[in-house]
Chains A and B, each alone.
Chain A
């Protein structure tokens, strides 16, 4: 559109070359300040998505140069190396080498280098300099480096890297950004890719050169990328999945040649991956020696060291951790529920207003009970998601998240989870949706999937209304055990014991299932826990807030659409086929598709002690667990004025359930045993389409959500069966 406008305007000199559009890849280690720099360069002009078919985030932003040119920044995931050992690294490598059809090869690499851990950061730089693209370095964390007595001279660094431009920046304070933008604009003057300055042992060097030549002539790999590709092929373990994957791109000639080379290496006892790592680090050592000035008087203990004496202390560390987690729990449970309740009330009000304004009919029902309710089902989670990601943003950017993972890893690793699984699982007590999203902080894909799989077993706040109705109606308030002091008995009631047991059951189940999956379906991926402990830093509020909004938006745009669609489907199931207007609501529900389904599953749920009415409740509450109470209210035809008040409704539904007599046996349908069996079912079953939608989005496919639904339903059925049949055998109910 704008192109066309300018073409019209400049019609006279149509020969003018169009403005150059630079594509720039932003690459750096985790914790190097890359995201802050990306935000400083692009502002709000960002676009976040996923690379098709994988869970790696694809982020692009736009930077306008003073000269009017446009630069597209591709923010690649934070990584330590370009050797593809995780999906993140695979994507980064493929993008840089131009292997991804969906992302054109960048023209320039902007490498963000953390001055405070220069050696390790320069390892990635060394790899980037081999991919055949011009490289530009942004040197960050110069203050932190100063704190440990290190000063990196940008000019000397540039010189020892063979002329790669180096600009020192402080993105939080916006210092050096203009220089960096200038360097990007002037990049066509440094457009030649850097020259390699390190060498391998002679035999290895010869084989690599030969392979690179073959790749170039036989497989048409661009000359600039051939060396990088050759070293990768030659250093991957023979017979590994990574090797098979890398070879998929190449011809049989290359395969044969590779097999022969590897045999030669084996005979000569050469391990190329080791030789490369050592050669690169040797060269990095030279660069560091030439460009780093060390203060004679290095502070023996940095501030981070001093803070860690408390934060990682064997006693105080855990005390502080519990305090931080207590605050998080409080925030998710209590503070987030204030705006969440307001949103619920707002959605209800909107529904009523629209109801009043529109003539009754299918369209009104679709809008009010399908669309508005569906949108409500999405936005109601926003307060918790925003709050959790605000919290995680601060924990991550200060450096505390890595410490928390260090403290908790022992406990979590026993069942195959990761130190970083703790926060997602804790948040899942409030709601599994932000919990599943928070699992993104876990780098190990195996631990991440495991965390996502078990997170919905934690008793979330949507289960509380179900527990409240059933416990209130069927579990006595009498003291379970306790001691008598001064005429009063102190101790928990049966109600409290029951509620606690439900939370405990969910937690134990989560760890048990994690242990089981860890030994079975996820056994093949190697577990990893290699976690950098970055120095403590003051977080950039802007970065934290941007990331929080980004996560919330991803949820609304990706998961929200699925939640909306499923809400409409469930509305349809519970209101069709249509009955005449004077049919009572209980009759409409009973004869709807959902009611039919509820009745149809009765044989399956009868061994758990459930009748068809509970079946309807189970089907209807698949939108959200708390819908169970409303659904039972409809089934038992609780009068509408009572249903408006949540507390009264809860009591009324309980009373109706108690009074219900099974026509076949002539005895009450509900006994305390049935109530417990039903609660156990709700603890373990995946009764929440919003979670399904989020798991689908976070794992980028239907495989894991389907596995999750299957195992949770099976587990719930089995546990309820054992409770009900075991209870009957022991003579309860």
Chain B
């Protein structure tokens, strides 16, 4: 969608677990592809565009473990780590 996405490589695998992981464990600047969404805000997250197969880039992390800023479907959203932890992503394309 956005030209930025083609500039950035899709990371081969998750730096901590080596395979699919949740959105909050992606380092800044990496793109993940949503595989599943869980948690209290599941329905809202899907409605905001976190559906299976959607590419999400972690574009910023606030200091001291604060919220993440992500880009998806050509808009920017910030969410807390607890919420991002419910979004499963795969990083190998």
Contacts and interface: CB of A to CB of B under 8 A. Distances in A.
Contact of B48 (A120, A298, A318, A529): A120
B51 to A, nearest CB: 5
A206 B41 CA distance: 27
Interface in A506-559: 526, 528-534
A419 B67 contact: yes
A273 interface: yes
Interface in A102-161: 116-120, 123, 148-150
Contacts of B46: 273-274, 277-278
A85 B67 contact: no
Interface stretch (B9-17, B18-26, B56-64): B56-64
A188 to B, nearest CB: 32
Nearest to B66: A410
Contacts of B52: 278
Contact of A409 (B37, B54, B60, B67): B67
Contact of B69 (A81, A312, A528): A312
Interface string B42-78: 1111111101101000001011111101000111111
Q: Which of B45, B47, B62 has the most CB of A within 10 A?
A: B47
A286 B53 CA distance: 15
B66 A119 contact: no
A405 B69 CA distance: 12
Interface string A295-321: 000101000000010001010001000
A471 to B, nearest CB: 36
Nearest to A309: B60
A318 B62 CA distance: 11
Contacts of B63: 314, 318, 407, 410
A409 B62 contact: yes
B3 A300 contact: yes
A529 B80 contact: yes
Contacts of A572: none
B92 to A, nearest CB: 22
A281 B51 contact: yes
A120 B75 contact: yes
B93 interface: no
A119 B62 contact: no
Contacts of B66: 406-407, 409-410
Given A300-B7, A419-B67, A533 B78 contact: yes
A242 to B, nearest CB: 9
A402 interface: yes
A406 B48 contact: no
B75 A530 contact: no
Contact of A529 (B47, B51, B65, B78): B78
B79 A533 contact: no
Given A300-B3, A531-B79, A406 B69 contact: yes
Given A277-B51, A281-B49, A410-B64, A528 B44 contact: yes
A51 interface: no
B74 A530 contact: no
B83 interface: yes
Q: Which of B40, B45, B49 has the most CB of A within 10 A?
A: B49
Given A117-B75, A406-B67, A410-B66, A278 B41 contact: no
Contacts of A83: 43-44, 47
A116 B41 CA distance: 25
A576 interface: no
B55 to A, nearest CB: 12
Contacts of B49: 119-120, 123, 281
B15 to A, nearest CB: 20
A410 B3 contact: no
B78 A298 contact: no
A116 B37 CA distance: 26
Given A119-B49, A123-B47, A528 B3 contact: no
Given A314-B63, A409-B67, A531-B79, A526 B41 contact: yes
Given A80-B47, A80-B48, A410 B40 contact: no
A281 to B, nearest CB: 5
A132 to B, nearest CB: 20
A528 B43 CA distance: 13
Interface in A267-283: 273-274, 277-278, 281
B75 to A, nearest CB: 4
A294 to B, nearest CB: 8
Interface string A249-290: 000000000000000000000000110011001000000000
Contacts of A314: 63
Nearest to A237: B43
A278 B51 contact: yes
Given A149-B3, A150-B74, 18 more contacts: A117-B75, A118-B74, A120-B49, A123-B47, A298-B3, A406-B62, A406-B66, A406-B67, A407-B62, A407-B63, A409-B62, A409-B67, A410-B63, A410-B67, A411-B64, A413-B80, A419-B67, A533-B78
28 contacts: A83-B47, A119-B73, A120-B73, A273-B42, A273-B43, A277-B43, A277-B46, A277-B47, A278-B52, A281-B54, A298-B3, A308-B60, A405-B78, A409-B66, A409-B78, A410-B64, A411-B64, A419-B67, A529-B67, A529-B80, A530-B41, A530-B45, A530-B48, A530-B77, A530-B79, A530-B83, A531-B79, A534-B76
Interface of B: 2-4, 7, 37, 40-49, 51-52, 54, 60, 62-67, 69, 73-80, 83
Interface of A: 80-81, 83, 85, 116-120, 123, 148-150, 235, 237, 273-274, 277-278, 281, 298, 300, 308, 312, 314, 318, 402, 405-407, 409-411, 413, 419, 526, 528-534
